[in-house]
Amino acid sequence: MAKEIHSIQGIEFGSASSNTRYGEREDSLVVTIPSEAKLSGKFTSNQLKAAPVLEAMHNLSSLEKGRKVLLINAGNANAANGPKGIKDVKKYCREVASDLDIDQKNVIPFSTGVIGEALPVSSYLKAFRKALTKLTPKGWNKAAEAILTTDTKPKIVSKEVKVGKASYLITGFAKGSGMIRPDFATLLSFVFVDAKLNQSALNKIHNQALKVSFEAITVDGDTSPNDSSLLVANGNNKKMVKAGSLAEKKITLAIIETFKELAELLVKDAEGASKLIKVQVSKAKNLEQAKSVGFTVAESPLVKTAMFGSDANWGRILSAIGRDNTVEDLSGLQIKLNGLPLVKKGYKDPKYSEKAASKAMKKREITIEIILGSGKHEFEVITSDLSEDYVLINSDYRS
Amino acid sequence: MAKEIHSIQGIEFGSASSNTRYGEREDSLVVTIPSEAKLSGKFTSNQLKAAPVLEAMHNLSSLEKGRKVLLINAGNANAANGPKGIKDVKKYCREVASDLDIDQKNVIPFSTGVIGEALPVSSYLKAFRKALTKLTPKGWNKAAEAILTTDTKPKIVSKEVKVGKASYLITGFAKGSGMIRPDFATLLSFVFVDAKLNQSALNKIHNQALKVSFEAITVDGDTSPNDSSLLVANGNNKKMVKAGSLAEKKITLAIIETFKELAELLVKDAEGASKLIKVQVSKAKNLEQAKSVGFTVAESPLVKTAMFGSDANWGRILSAIGRDNTVEDLSGLQIKLNGLPLVKKGYKDPKYSEKAASKAMKKREITIEIILGSGKHEFEVITSDLSEDYVLINSDYRS
C-alpha cells in the first residue's frame, strides 16, 4: 500500500452496492474523466472476451469529445452470455450516458466475477446511479476496494515524479487474485497520470509497462475473458510532455514502476500463495527464449510445489528448463537461488550447499536466476508458489 | 492388471536389491533379449538427458550381433551428474558385458529416481550380477515391480492377437506416477512382441503407438530427463510379418492398444489423482490445433482443480480453450461432459442442467468433449485432476 495516495486532478469516483453477490459491500464503481484526457485500453488476449470487454474496445476506438465515464462492476463477469450479455452491458451504458447527457461511446464498461451468469442489469444500473451522486476526487481507496472479488486486500500505488520545477503525479489501482481464477478473480487495472500526453505516446508507454508487469506475472498460466488495463493521462498538466524529453523519460519510468508494483501486489495476494518468486532469465539468445524459459519454470507445478515445500529442488528447475522448446543446449547453464549456486555447466554446482540452499528457501521472497548461455537478452517473470490452499480455494464449488 | 500375462519367447528377467534407497526391495532389473530380436527405443525430448539415456541412445544406434541385455535401476536417475554420471553408467554396462562376454553396445541401461545424486555404481552392479543368476522367462510381474519408484502399483498389459491359425503375443510393463515428479517418478516403458518384424516396421509402429499413448497423457506438463520407451520384437515367430498384411495391421493395433492401456494405468496412478479425465477434441482445423487445445485444457490448473472439486465449471474449460493460441473463433464451439451439454456456439448451452452436470462430475472417469468448429481433425489427451494430495506429495522435501 502506498504511503500517500496522490489524487489526480479531474478524476472523480463514486461507489455503491448493487445488493447482489456481496450483499451491502460496495461493488459498483463509477469513474469520471475530464474531456481533455487521453485513454489507452489493453484487453485480454483470450478469444473468450466478456461483453464489457468487447464494448470497451469498441468505445475506446471511437471516443467522442467530452468527459468520459468508466463503469466497473464486481461479482459478475458478464462473459459467455452470448447476445444477451452484449445487450445487457449496452443497456446500462446507454442509461448512464443519457443521465449524464454524454455520448454513449464515452461510457466504458468493465466487469469481473463469475462467468456465464446473467448480469443483474437493473441492480448494477441502480448502483451506478447512486454512485454518481457521490462523486469525489478523494475516493481512491474506496475505488480500489469496490472492484475486488476474491482478493484479500486492495492494491494501490501512487508516485510523484519531479522534473526541474514540474511535478507529475501517478496513481493506480488493480485487482485480481493472480489471474488464477478467471471465473471469479479477473485482472483489472486502472492507472491515472497527471500529465498531458498525446495518444501515441500514451499507447507506447502503456505497451512498455504491460510487457514487464501484467504480461510478466503468472500464477497458473490461465487468463480470463475480462482482463483489462486502462492508462489515463488527464491532460491537465499545462504543457504537452515532449517526445524524447527528460520529463517523458522520467514519467515513463515511473508509470512502468507503478505497473510493476501493482503486478507484484497481485502475485503476493494470489490465491493460496505463501511465497513471491522472481524467475530472472539472462544471457538468452533472444527475448523470446528468455520469456519462454521464464514462463516454463514459473508455471511448472513441480517447481511451484517445491517452492511451497521450501525445497531447493534444483533438479526440477533444471528439468523444466530442459523441456522448454527454445532450449537446445544446457552446457553453459547456471542457476542461482537468492544468490546461492545451484547449477553450473548444466549440472550440480560443486559449490552447492544443501544447508545454505534450504535456509535460503525459507524466505518469503525467492529469486531464481537462470543464466542460459552467452546471449544478451533477459526477462523476469514473477509468480507464486503452489500450495494446498490453492487447490482448496479452486476446487471449491462455485455456488 | 492383465488377467493373463503371456510370456514372450526368449525374453528372460532377473531382479535383485541394491540395498540403497529402498532397503531390501528389489530395485535392479536385468532383461535378456535373444540375438534375433529387433529393438526400437524412444527417449525423452528434454534437453536434460540422464546419462543412461545418452548411453542407451548411443548403444541402440550401433547394436552388434548377439543377445542384448537391459539394465534398469530404480531409485537413482543418474541425471545432471555431468561426466561422472556417464563414466558410472558405462562402468556397470562394461562389467556386465564382460561377465556375459557380449559387446558392450548390446548392454542398454535405463534409470529412474532422484536427479543429481551420484550413482552408487558398485551397489547396482552387485545387484545386476545377482539378478543375472536368477534369470527366468516367468518373471514379468516381478520385473514390473522392480522398476517402480513412487508408483503405488505395477502396470502390466498382455494381449494375444490371432490371425488365421497364427498367434502373436504382446506383453508390456511401465512405471511412472504420471510423469509429474521427474526427480522421482520417471516414465519407463518396455513392451515385447512375439513376432518377427523388420526394424523399420518396428520403428514405425513404435512411433504410431507413442503418439496416442505416452505422448497423449499429461499430469502437469513436466517431462523428465529419464523418460524411455522400448519396443522389442523377439524375432521368434517363424515367418517375417509382411508389410501391409492383415497380420501387420492386427499386430499394430494390438501394440497401440497395449501402449494406450499402459498410459491410462499411469494416469490412474498419478500422484494424488482421484479422477481420470479424457479430453477429446474434435472438428479441429488441423491435428496441431486438436493437440494444442487438448493439452491446454488438460494442463489448466483451474480445470483440474474444478475436476477434483467435482464442479462442472464450464466457464473454466471455455476460458482455457479461449486462451489457446491456435484458437481464433469460438462461435462454433460445443462442449460436453460425459455426454451432457455444457456449451453451444461458444456460450452456455440452453440445455445445460447444473443438477445433471454435478451428478456427472461425481464419476471417477470424466470425458470432456470439445467440438471446435468445422474441421476434420481430432485428438484425445488423458489427464488426472489436481488434488491437495498432489501438492502434499510434491512439496515434500526430497530427503
pLDDT at position B238 is 73
Contact B222, A301 (CB under 8 A): yes
Residue B3 lies in a domain: no
Whether residues A326 and A236 fall in one domain: no
Residue B111 placed within a domain: yes
Residue B375 and residue B256 in one domain: no
Could you tell me which residues come within 8 angstroms of residue A75 by beta carbon, excluding any fewer than 6 positions away? A18, A20, A21, A22, A27, A112, A113, A114, A149
Q: Which of A47, A330, A398 sits opposite B330 (nearest CB)?
A: A47
Confirm whether B199 is domain-assigned: yes
| Count of CB atoms situated within 10 Å of the CB of A199 | 12
pLDDT for position A41: 97
CA distance A13 to chain B (A): 31
- Calculate how close chain B gets to A174, using CA atoms only, in Å: 21
Alpha-carbon distance of B149 to B395, in angstroms, equals 17
Residue of B nearest to A327 (CA): B47
The nearest CA of chain A is from the CA of B37 a distance in Å of: 32
A1 pLDDT more than 50: no
Supply the pLDDT for residue B181.
40
Domain final residue pick, A233, A268, A303: A268
Stretch among A52-66, A180-194, B368-382 having the lowest mean pLDDT: A180-194
In chain B, pLDDT over 90 holds for what percent of residues?
76
Tell me, yes or no, whether A285 and A219 share the same domain. no
What is the pLDDT at residue B398?
Answer: 57
pTM: 0.87
Residue where a domain terminates, one of B219, B242, B268: B268
Domain of B130 in residue numbering reads as: 12-268
- Subunit contact B315:A396, Cβ cutoff 8 A: no
Residues of A annotated catalytic, as ranges = 186
CATH number at residue B321: 3.10.20.340
Q: Which is higher by pLDDT, B45 or A131?
A: A131
The CA–CA distances, whole Å, from A23 to A19, A60, A145 equal: 5, 32, 15
Q: Looking at beta carbons, which residues of chain A come within 8 Å of B116?
A: 314-315, 318, 347-348
Say if residue B83 is in the same domain as residue B46: yes
**Smallest Cα distance from B363 to chain A, Å:** 16
Residues above pLDDT 90, as percent of chain A: 76
The pLDDT of residue A45: 87
Clarify whether residues B290 and B186 are in a common domain.
no
pLDDT attached to residue A397: 57
Same domain, yes or no: B159 and B114: yes
Residue A35 is which amino acid?
A: S
Q: What is the pLDDT of residue A16?
A: 98
Q: Which residue has the higher pLDDT, A312 or B58?
A: B58
- Shared domain for A351 and A252, answered yes or no, is no
CA atoms of B151 and B189, how far apart (whole Å)? 13
Give tens-digit pLDDT for B75-126. 999 999 999 999 999 999 999 999 999 999 999 999 998 888 899 999 999 9
Of A48, A308, A396, the CB nearest to B322: A48
- Is position A3 within any domain? no
Model confidence at A271, pLDDT cuts 50, 70, 90, reads: confident
Predicted pLDDT of residue B272: 82
Residue at B2 is within a domain: no
Q: pLDDT per residue over B165-180, tens digit each?
A: 999 999 999 998 655 4
What digits encode the pLDDT tens for the residues B229-250? 999 999 986 789 999 999 999 9
Q: Do A397 and B300 touch (CB under 8 A)?
A: no
Test B322 with A388 for CB contact under 8 angstroms. no
Taking an 8 Å cut-off on Cβ atoms, the answer to whether A347 and B81 are in contact is: yes
**Where does a domain end: B222, B240, B268?**
B268
Residue A137 lies in a domain: yes
Is A5 a domain residue? no
| Number of domains within chain B | 2
Strands A365-371 vs A276-284: parallel, antiparallel or unpaired: parallel
Amino acid B78: pLDDT: 95
Q: Which of B48, B49, B318 sits opposite A48 (nearest CB)?
A: B318
Would B6 be classed as within a structural domain? no
A308: pLDDT strictly greater than 80: yes
Neighbours of A188 (CB within 10 A): 24
Do A164 and A264 lie in a common domain? yes
Alpha-helical segments (H) within chain B: 51-60, 82-100, 121-132, 140-146, 199-211, 246-268, 287-299, 301-308, 314-323, 354-361, 388-395
Regarding whether A315 and A229 lie in a shared domain, the answer is: no
pLDDT of residue A298: 93
CB atoms within 10 A of CB A389: 15
Mean of all residue pLDDT scores within chain A: 92
Structure confidence at residue A25 (pLDDT): 95
Q: Are A285 and A217 members of one domain? A: no
pLDDT of residue B397: 57
| Residues of B whose CB is below 8 A from A328 | 47
Does B82 sit within 8 Å of A313, measured CB to CB? no
Contact list in A for residue B180 (CB cut-off 8 A) is 301-302
The string of pLDDT tens digits covering residues B190-234 is 999 999 999 999 999 999 999 999 988 888 777 788 999 999 999
**Residue A113: band (very low, low, confident or very high) from pLDDT cuts 50, 70, 90:** confident
**Contact (CB, 8 A) for B270 and B177:** yes
Distance CA A200, CA B59 (A): 61
Mutate to test the interface with B, among A54, A87, A305 (most CBs of B within 10 A): A305
Better-predicted residue by pLDDT, A224 or A57: A57
Q: What's the pLDDT at A67? A: 95
A348:B220 CB<8 A: no
- What per-residue confidence (pLDDT) applies to B281? 98
Mean pLDDT value of segment B46-60: 95
Q: What is the CATH number of the domain that holds A179?
A: 3.60.70.12
Same domain, A179 and A32: yes
Band of pLDDT at residue A312, cut at 50, 70 and 90: confident
Q: Which residues in chain B have Cβ-Cβ distances shorter than 8 Å to A315?
A: 77, 79-80, 114-116, 182-183
Q: Which residues of A touch B354 (CB under 8 A)?
A: 399
* Rounded average pLDDT over A319-330: 92
Greatest mean pLDDT among A187-196, A319-328, B350-359 = A187-196
User: Which range has the worst mean pLDDT, A23-27, A365-369, B369-373, B388-392?
Assistant: B388-392
- pLDDT of A150: 81
Kindly state whether residues A146 and A261 are assigned to the same domain: yes
pLDDT band at A238 (very low <50, low <70, confident <90, very high): confident
Q: Which of A250-254, A345-349, B292-296 has the lowest average pLDDT?
A: A345-349
Nearest to A397 among B225, B309, B347 (CB): B309
> Which one of B48, B181, B317 would you mutate to disrupt binding with A, by most A Cβ within 10 Å of its Cβ?
B48
Q: What is the mean pLDDT of residues A308-333?
A: 91
- A320 touches B220 (CB < 8 A): no
Q: pLDDT tens, A127-174?
A: 999 999 999 999 999 999 999 988 889 999 999 999 999 999 999 999
Which stretch of A88-92, A120-124, A314-318, B157-161 has the lowest confidence by average pLDDT? A314-318
Rounded-to-integer distance, Cα B398 and Cα A310, Å: 10
Q: Can you give the pLDDT at residue B186?
A: 66
